[in-house]
Amino acid sequence: MNLLLIEDDRDAAGYLVKALAEAGYQVDHAADGRDGLFQATEHTYDGIVADRMLPHLDGLTIIEILRKQGNRTPVLILSALGSVDHRVEGLRAGGDDYLTKPFALSELLARIEALLRRGQVSPAPEMKLRLADLEMDVLARTVTRAGRRIEVTAREFKLLEYLLRRAGQVVTRTMLLEGVWDLHFDPQTNVIDVHLSRLRQAIDKGFDRPLIHTVRGAGYTLRVD
Amino acid sequence: MRTSALRLSVVYAASFAAALVLLVFVIYVLTTRFINAEVDTVIERDALSILEAYGRSGTRGIINELDLRERTFSRINAVYLVTDAEGFVIAGNLPAWPVMRGRDGRWVEFEIELREGGLETGRPVRAMVLEPGPGLRLLVGTDLSDRRDLGRRFAVAAGIGTLLVTLIALGIGYRQSQRILARVEAVSRTCKEIVGGNLAGRLPISGDDDEFDTLAIEVNSLLARLARTTEILRTSLHSAAHDLRSPMHRMRLRMEQALGEEQATGSAGDAATGAQRDTLELLLRDVDQMQRVLTALLQIAEAESGTVGARPEPVNLDVMLDELGELYQPQAEQQGISLVVGCAPGSRVLGHRQLLAQAVANLIDNALKFTPSGGRVELRTQVADGRLAISVADSGPGIPAEDRTRAVEPFVRLSNAPPRDGSGLGLNLAAAVARLHGGSLRLEDNQPGLVARLELPVGAPSGATSIDRA
C-alpha cells in the first residue's frame, strides 16, 4: 500500500513518514500544496493524507481539483482547525475523513486502514456478515453464534455491524462514536467502553474463543485469534 | 401584520372622521345662529316700520302698508297678520290666527299647513306679535322653510362629505400603514436573520430618502462593523487554534516516537526505562488534557461570539435525547445510578445538532459524575410558553445557591482545582451553546441535587428563513 503525505510541517512530517513506514506503508512526502497536487496527479496512490493549511495551495483545493479530474483516491484531511464546521467543509470538499491535530498515532493508523479498506469494498454492501461462527443477517436483523440466536438491542446490533464490516481492523472510540452514534465530539468519559463490554457479554460470554479484542491505547478490533 | 395595518388605519380614519364631524358641527351651529339672528333683525326692522305706519295713520296705515308690500317686491317669505279685538282678520297673508307652538316673550313659532301638489306640508314660521293699539294684534314673521331646507341640505352634504373623506382616509391610511409595517417587518426579519448568525444580511433601502432609509443606513453601517469585528474574531480564533495545535501536534508525535523507540530498544523490567515510559505516558495524557481544554475554550468562544459558521437546521430533540440517554445508560447502570429518560415526542428546534448534543451530553456527564451509587438522574423535556426546556436532574450534592448563577457564566469555574478528566468546562460550554441558540442554561435546586435546565426557543430565532435558503 502506498500513501502520499502532504504536510508542510517538516518535523511533524518526518515523524509521520517514519510511523507510517513502520506500519508497513510506502510513503511519499510533499512539503507544499503545489508539489502535493503534482505528485497526486502523476502517481497512483492507495490513499492521500493531506494537511489542510498548506503553502501555495491549501488541502481542500487540492482535493477539489483531484475530484474534478475524476480522481477518487481516498483522502484523510489533517487539520489544526477542529470545529464541526471545519470538518463539514473538509468532507464537502471531497475529503473522506477528517482528523484534528494533535492526534494519537493509533487513531491515524486506524483511520487510514479504514479508509483504504473502504476503497476496496464493493458498491453494494453485504447483507449477510460472518466472522468465524458469528453470523449477522442485516435485513432480518438477527445475530447467531454457533447456530445459537443471540438477542441484542438495536444499538448493539449497529455497533456489531460496524465492527463486523471492519473485521480485523482496529476501530477507535471516536470512530465508533462517529460511525454508530453520529456524534462528533469527545464525550470525555468511557461511555463507549461500557457499550463494548456489554456487547462482549452478549457475543463472547460462554464461548471459548473471544472475538472482540481490546487494542491497548487504540480501541477495539473484531477478529479470530 | 395585515390585521395590524387595518387596525391602525381604522384608528386613524376614525379619529380623522371624528375631528371632521366636530368641525362641521361647529360651522353648522355658528351659521344657524347667525342666520337666526339675521331673521330676527329683519322681522324687528319690518315690524318697526309697520308700527311707524300705525303711528302715522292708525289701523288704516297698517292695512295700506301691508297692501303696499303685497304689491311690491318686499322681503321674501314674509308673513303678516292683523286682527281686531274680536279676532277678525283685518289684513295680512294668513287666513286665521295660527296655533302657536312656542312662545318666548314677543317671539312665537308656529306652522302653516299648506297643500302643495296634493301633499300636506307644514311650513315653519318665526314671528313677532305686537299690540300696536287696543284690541289690535299685529303678527310679523318669516317663513323658515327655506332655512330649514338649507339646514337639511347642509347636513346631508356634510354627512356625505364626511363619509367620503373618511373612506379616503381609511384607504390612504391602510396603504400607508401597510407600507410602514412592511418596512418594519423587513427590518425585523433582517434582524432575526442577523441574530441567527447571518451577518451578511442588510436592511433594504427604498431610495425614498425618508426616516426609514436613514435608520436602515445607520443600522447597515453598524452591521458592517459588527461583521468586520466578527470576522476578525473568527480569524484570530482560528489562528490561535492553529498556532497552539501545531506545536502540540509535534510535541505529541515526538513523545509517541520516543515511546516507540523505548519499546523497541528498552529491555523489559529495566527500572530506568520503565520510569521514562511512565513519564512519557503522563506527558501524553497532559497533552491530551491540554487539547481537550483548548477545544472546549475555542468552542465556548465560538458559541459566545456567534462565529459558528454553519447554518442552523431542524433538530429532532426527542430523538437526539433518546439517543443520548441510551448512550449513557450502560455507564449509569455500571455506576449503580438509574437514568430515566422522558421526552415529549415531536419537539423540534432549529439549531446545531452536534453542539446541542454535546451540551446535553456534558450535562448528563456532569450529573453522573456527581451522583452517588444508588442515585437517580432524570433527563426530561417540557414545552411551555414557546420555550422548550431540557432538564437533567440528579440526586447528587448539588451546587450552593450563591454559586449557581456564576457556574454558567462564560469561563467561570467554581473550583480552582484542575479537572481530573474532561476539560472541566462542560457546564460553561452547555451554557454557551444555549445562548448561541437564543436560550439559556439555569441551575436549580433539585432538593436534593441539581437540576440543569437548558431552555431553547421553539421557533429558534434565525427561523424559517435559514431553511429556505439552504
In B198-237, the residues whose Cβ lies within 8 Å of chain A are: none
Query: What is the band of B241 on the pLDDT scale with cuts at 50, 70, 90?
Result: confident
Q: Which residue of B has its CA nearest to A23?
A: B260
The phi and psi torsions of B79 (rounded to 5 degrees) equal -125, 130
In B242-261, the residues whose Cβ lies within 8 Å of chain A are: 242, 245-246, 248-254, 256-257, 260
Mean pLDDT of chain B: 83
Closest CA relative to residue A48, chosen from A94, A104, A82, A86 = A94
Closest CA relative to residue A1, chosen from A117, A87, A131 = A117
3-state helix vs strand vs coil in chain B, percent to 5:
60, 20, 25
Question: What are the grid coordinates assigned to A150, written together?
Answer: 443471540
Count of Cβ atoms closer than 10 Å to residue B65 Cβ: 22
Query: What is the band of B247 on the pLDDT scale with cuts at 50, 70, 90?
Result: very high
Count of Cβ atoms closer than 10 Å to residue B38 Cβ: 12
Looking only at the bridges linking them, the beta strands covering A26-30 and A2-6 are parallel
Q: Which of A148-162, B186-200, B309-323 ranks highest by mean pLDDT?
A: A148-162
Q: Which residue of B has its CA nearest to A192?
A: B327
CB-CB: which of A11, A80, A88 is closest to B245? A80
Interface mutation vs chain A, best among B249, B281, B291, most A CBs within 10 Å:
B249
Strand order in the sheet with B89-92: B89-92, B78-83, B137-143, B119-130, B107-116, B100-104
Residues of B in contact with A83 (CB under 8 A): 298-299, 302, 308-309
Is residue B269 scored above 60 in pLDDT? no
Confidence (pLDDT) at B413: 66
Residues of B in contact with A82 (CB under 8 A): 241, 245, 295, 298
Is residue B419 scored above 60 in pLDDT? no
Confidence (pLDDT) at B462: 41
Q: How far is CA B73 from the centre of its chain?
A: 70
Q: Which residue of A has its CA nearest to B333?
A: A194
Is residue B271 scored above 60 in pLDDT? no
CB-CB: which of B242, B299, B331 is closest to A189? B331
- Please give, rounded to a whole number of angstroms, the shortest distance from the CA of B250 to a CA of chain A: 5
Count of Cβ atoms closer than 10 Å to residue B343 Cβ: 19
pLDDT digits (tens, 9 = 90+) for B114-123: 776 777 778 8
Lowest mean per-residue pLDDT among B259-268, B347-356, B445-454: B259-268
pLDDT tens, chain A, 225 aa long: 899 999 999 999 999 999 999 999 999 999 999 999 999 999 999 999 999 999 889 999 999 999 999 999 999 999 988 787 888 889 999 999 999 999 999 999 999 999 998 766 666 778 889 898 999 999 999 999 998 999 999 999 999 999 999 999 999 999 999 999 999 887 767 899 999 999 999 999 888 889 999 998 889 999 987
Question: What are the grid coordinates assigned to B105, written together?
Answer: 316673550
Question: What are the grid coordinates assigned to B93, written together?
Answer: 297673508
Is B285 within 8 Å of chain A by CB?
no
Is B334 within 8 Å of chain A by CB?
yes
Percent of chain B surpassing pLDDT 70: 90
Residues of A in contact with B250 (CB under 8 A): 9, 11-12, 15
Residues of A in contact with B422 (CB under 8 A): 188-189
- Please give, rounded to a whole number of angstroms, the shortest distance from the CA of A137 to a CA of chain B: 23
Interface touch B242/A80, C-beta < 8 Å: yes
Confidence (pLDDT) at B468: 33
Where is pLDDT greater, at B50 or A119? Answer: B50
Residues of B in contact with A188 (CB under 8 A): 292, 365, 421-423, 426
Interface mutation vs chain A, best among B233, B237, B253, most A CBs within 10 Å:
B253
pLDDT digits (tens, 9 = 90+) for B214-232: 888 888 898 889 888 888 8
- Among chain A, residues having any CB pair with chain B shorter than 8 Å are 9, 11-12, 15-16, 18-19, 22, 53, 80-85, 88-89, 100-105, 155, 181, 183-191, 194-195, 197-198
Q: Which residue of A has its CA nearest to B312?
A: A85
Where is pLDDT greater, at B279 or B344? Answer: B279
Is residue B234 scored above 90 in pLDDT? no
Is residue B469 scored above 50 in pLDDT? no
Contact B461, B438 (CB under 8 A): yes
3-state helix vs strand vs coil in chain A, percent to 5:
40, 20, 35
Structural element, H or E, at residue B385: none
* For residues B255-273, average pLDDT: 68
Confidence (pLDDT) at B266: 53
CA–CA separation, B63 and B70 (whole Å):
11
Residues of A in contact with B310 (CB under 8 A): 84-85, 88
Question: What are the grid coordinates assigned to B370, written together?
Answer: 456527581
Cα–Cα distance list, A90 to A64, A98, A117 (Å) = 10, 7, 20
Interface mutation vs chain B, best among A52, A83, A105, A155, most B CBs within 10 Å:
A83
Q: How many cross-chain Cβ pairs, A to B, lie less than 8 Å apart?
A: 110
Is B331 within 8 Å of chain A by CB?
yes
CB-CB: which of B287, B310, B357 is closest to A102? B287
Looking only at the bridges linking them, the beta strands covering B348-351 and B313-316 are antiparallel
| Model ipTM value | 0.89
Interface touch B357/A103, C-beta < 8 Å: no
Residues of A in contact with B323 (CB under 8 A): 181
CA–CA separation, B138 and B127 (whole Å):
10
Contact B320, B360 (CB under 8 A): yes
Q: What angle do CA B106, B77, B70 make, to 5 degrees?
A: 100
Query: What is the band of B416 on the pLDDT scale with cuts at 50, 70, 90?
Result: low
CB-CB: which of A18, A189, A195 is closest to B365? A189
Is residue B463 scored above 50 in pLDDT? no
CA–CA separation, B463 and B197 (whole Å):
11
Interface touch B327/A189, C-beta < 8 Å: no
HSE-up of B407 (CA within 13 Å, CB side)? 22
Is residue B49 scored above 80 in pLDDT? yes
CA–CA separation, A206 and A211 (whole Å):
12
Residues of A in contact with B298 (CB under 8 A): 82-83
Cβ partners under 8 Å of residue A198, min gap 6 = A156, B330
DSSP characters over B219-236: HHHHHHHHHHHHHHHHHH
Interface touch B352/A84, C-beta < 8 Å: yes
CA–CA separation, A12 and A23 (whole Å):
17
pLDDT digits (tens, 9 = 90+) for B254-263: 999 888 876 6
The phi and psi torsions of B153 (rounded to 5 degrees) equal -60, -40
Structural element, H or E, at residue B104: strand B100-104
Angle formed by the axes of helices B271-305 and B211-265, to 10°? Answer: 170
A160: region left, alpha or beta (phi > 0 left; psi from -120 to 50 alpha): alpha
Q: Is the pTM of this model over 0.95?
A: no
CA–CA separation, B136 and B411 (whole Å):
112
Specify which residues A129 forms β-bridges with. A136
